[in-house]
């Protein structure tokens, strides 16, 4: 199936992109470089989506812990180096995870594990590892797949509690698809467990990453400048609330009543939102299926600590079920930036939740108290709090509850049939992608627009199959 674009009708765009996160920015930039007339519409008053950075009392912070995977495809890394130059720093990971009553390094170190983990847990891990060849991998739940790959000991101590926190449900109710996409992450534990039983010392993974000097958001800021320089018409505070498809074009309307038309639309909107605002509307069945596709929310609590660095680590993962905080990161430790202040630092605590949870309604000081309690519970140093601010993100991860595949397939099949509209990005394809995957999707979508202006649905289907087979990197 092919969609022909309208070429440069007066007042009309070749391509309208909805959402200026990494996927939307990269798609607009690449399309403009190919000579297309592009408009990019963003609901927020800034670009960057989940990958944007912002200032908290003069310290640049991210929306939760963000790193760029060093194994991203070379073509992409070359483009990012071209945009960021020396600001794209290569860093060594210095993260930790709480297992039982101990903090362990990530990437995992077998020697440290053998010294620090309680003997009873070590014995269970060693037993699981020895029996790993006999475990069966088939299962249709996250818990089943992870247990079969890393064993019950590590599942009970780490993966089960983390899954419950991140997804708000037991691993028994999460689809196996989620475990499949985390293969690489599971691998580091498996290698470490094997190293442990064979008495080998050393790391399971070298754990490097890339990070821009002034915050992860520098990446999307430079992408945005490049898109503007290439002629993209970027409009912020433009929340799209109608996408109307006609025979010859698509009309996109924003909440304040502005309407623009184009030959093709790339939507990075959450699929359920597209199902609600698209005309012609989907069938009742697709609308019902889209209502069952759920996203997890997240509160980000930024606590400013008076008195320089808090720890030398970039992040601390916290499976401990006694606190809803899943991770605490310290943004200045992700980079080497002489311009960062030295008399204060910021801690960023991630609290995955649902918008109906009590924690969602807590005020800033109560959330900061919750972070203080978490530090005490997990043996982390206390903070001398000089300020707190919070951000609430309503849709942060798609929830892969067991059986979600059927609902997704219903809605996705409808979305694929909409003429002149292509869905992509984290929310558009209901995937838990990283930025490199979001950028590659954007590249592939633009590359599927042929020189004669037709959108090659077959090439796009092949590209989507590739994303589907790829797994999340262990960043
Ligand atoms: C806590 C956390 C940690 C992460 N860690 C990493 C990491 O370490 N490494 C990594 O590579 N990635 C990481 N990611 C993922 C990364 O942030 C995403 O992959 C990336 O931002 C996805 O880009 P996107 O463009 O698909 O979606 P988004 O960033 O979600 O962008 C979508 C955009 O659409 C806009 N929009 C929504 N509705 C409308 C509307 N009606 N009209 C107009 N605009 C609209 C939104 O405002 C947003 O700007 C992390 C994400 C989170 C939340």
pLDDT the model gives residue 237: 98
Q: Which atom of ligand 1 is nearest to the CA of 437?
A: 19
If asked whether residues 6 and 146 sit together in one domain, one would say no
Calculate how far, in angstroms, residue 193's C-alpha sits from the geometric centre of ligand 1.
34
pLDDT the model gives residue 135: 65
Q: Is 96 helix (H, G, I), strand (E, B) or coil?
A: strand
Distances (CA, A) of 100 to 122, 266, 351: 11, 46, 20
Calculate how far, in angstroms, residue 428's C-alpha sits from the geometric centre of ligand 1.
11
**DSSP secondary-structure letter at 458?**
H
Q: Is 212 helix (H, G, I), strand (E, B) or coil?
A: strand
Q: Which atom of ligand 1 is nearest to the CA of 254?
A: 42
Query: Token pair of 317, please?
Result: 């993962």
Assess contact for 113 and 150: CB atoms under 8 A.
no
pLDDT the model gives residue 150: 82
- The domain total for the chain is 2
Q: Where are the beta strands (DSSP E) in 246-330?
A: 250-254, 259-267, 278-279, 295-306, 315-317, 327-329
Q: Which domain holds residue 465?
A: 2-51+74-79+215-291+402-469
If asked whether residues 266 and 192 sit together in one domain, one would say no
Residue with the two structure tokens 């980000």:
300
If asked whether residues 170 and 221 sit together in one domain, one would say no
Q: In the chain, how many H helices and how many E strands? A: 17, 21
Given ligand 1 and candidates 348, 435, 474, which is best to mutate, with the most ligand atoms within 8 Å of its CB?
435
Give the integer Cα–Cα distance in Å for 430 and 420: 20
Please tell me the total number of residues recorded for the chain in this structure.
Answer: 475
Find out whether the peptide bond into 107 is cis, omega within 30 degrees of 0: yes
Given ligand 1 and candidates 16, 18, 21, 300, which is best to mutate, with the most ligand atoms within 8 Å of its CB?
21
Q: What is the pLDDT along the chain (475 residues), one digit of tens a residue?
A: 455 554 444 569 999 999 999 999 999 999 999 999 999 999 999 999 999 999 999 999 999 999 999 999 999 999 999 999 999 999 999 999 998 889 999 877 878 877 888 888 888 888 887 777 666 666 789 999 888 888 888 889 888 999 999 999 999 999 988 877 765 555 555 555 555 555 554 444 457 999 999 999 999 999 999 999 999 999 999 999 999 999 899 999 999 999 999 999 999 999 999 999 999 999 999 999 999 999 999 999 999 999 999 999 999 999 999 999 999 999 999 999 999 999 999 999 999 999 999 999 999 999 999 999 999 999 999 999 999 999 999 999 899 999 999 999 999 999 999 999 999 999 999 998 899 999 999 999 999 999 888 899 999 999 999 888 775 544 3
Residue 41 lies inside a defined structural domain of this protein: yes
Give the integer Cα–Cα distance in Å for 149 and 137: 7
Using CA positions, which residue lies closest to atom 2 of ligand 1?
64
Q: Is 172 helix (H, G, I), strand (E, B) or coil?
A: helix
Q: Which atom of ligand 1 is nearest to the CA of 441?
A: 26
pLDDT the model gives residue 126: 80
Give the integer Cα–Cα distance in Å for 94 and 113: 16
End position of a domain, from candidates 162, 197, 232: 197
Calculate how far, in angstroms, residue 351's C-alpha sits from the geometric centre of ligand 1.
17
Residue 307 lies inside a defined structural domain of this protein: no
């Amino acid at each position: 199936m092919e969609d022909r674009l309208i070429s440069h009708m007066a007042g009309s765009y070749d391509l309208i992109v909805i959402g200026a996160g990494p996927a939307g920015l990269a798609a607009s930039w690449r399309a403009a470089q190919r000579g297309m007339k592009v408009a990019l519409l963003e609901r927020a008053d800034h670009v960057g989506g989940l990958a944007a950075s912002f200032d908290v009392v003069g310290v640049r912070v991210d929306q939760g812990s963000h790193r760029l995977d060093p194994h991203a495809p070379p073509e992409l890394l070359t483009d990012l180096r071209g945009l960021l130059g020396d600001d794209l720093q290569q860093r060594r990971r210095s993260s930790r995870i709480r297992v039982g009553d101990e903090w362990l390094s990530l990437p995992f170190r077998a020697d440290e594990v053998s010294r620090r983990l309680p003997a009873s847990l070590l014995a269970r891990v060693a037993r699981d590892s020895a029996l790993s060849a006999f475990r069966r991998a088939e299962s249709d739940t996250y818990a089943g797949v992870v247990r079969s790959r890393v064993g019950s000991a590590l599942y009970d101590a780490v993966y089960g509690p983390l899954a419950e926190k991140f997804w708000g449900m037991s691993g028994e109710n999460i689809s196996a698809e989620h475990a499949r996409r985390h293969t690489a992450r599971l691998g580091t534990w498996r290698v470490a467990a094997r190293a442990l039983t064979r008495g080998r010392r050393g790391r399971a993974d070298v754990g490097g990453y890339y990070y821009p000097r002034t915050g992860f958001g520098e990446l999307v800021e430079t992408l945005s400048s490049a898109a503007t320089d290439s002629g993209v018409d970027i409009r912020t505070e433009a929340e799209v609330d109608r996408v109307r498809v006609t025979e010859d074009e698509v009309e996109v309307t924003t909440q304040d009543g502005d309407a623009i038309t184009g030959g093709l639309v790339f939507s990075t909107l959450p699929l359920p939102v597209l199902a609600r605002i698209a005309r012609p509307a989907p069938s009742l069945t697709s609308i019902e299926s889209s209502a069952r596709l759920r996203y997890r929310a997240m509160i980000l609590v930024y606590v400013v600590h008076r008195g320089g660095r808090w720890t030398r680590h970039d992040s601390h993962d916290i499976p401990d079920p006694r606190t809803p905080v899943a991770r605490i990161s310290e943004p200045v430790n992700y980079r080497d930036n002489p311009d960062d202040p030295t008399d204060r630092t910021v801690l960023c605590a991630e609290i995955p939740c649902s918008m109906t949870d009590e924690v969602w309604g807590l005020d800033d000081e109560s959330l900061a108290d919750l972070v203080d309690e978490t530090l005490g519970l997990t043996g982390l140093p206390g903070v001398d709090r000089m300020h707190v601010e919070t951000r609430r993100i309503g849709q942060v991860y798609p929830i892969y509850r067991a059986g979600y595949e059927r609902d997704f397939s219903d809605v996705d099949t409808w979305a694929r049939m909409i003429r002149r509209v292509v869905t992509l990005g984290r929310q558009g394809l209901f995937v838990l992608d990283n930025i490199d995957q979001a950028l590659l999707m954007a590249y592939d979508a633009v590359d599927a627009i042929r020189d004669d202006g037709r959108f090659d649905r077959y090439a796009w289907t092949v590209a989507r199959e590739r994303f589907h087979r790829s797994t999340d990197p262990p960043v």
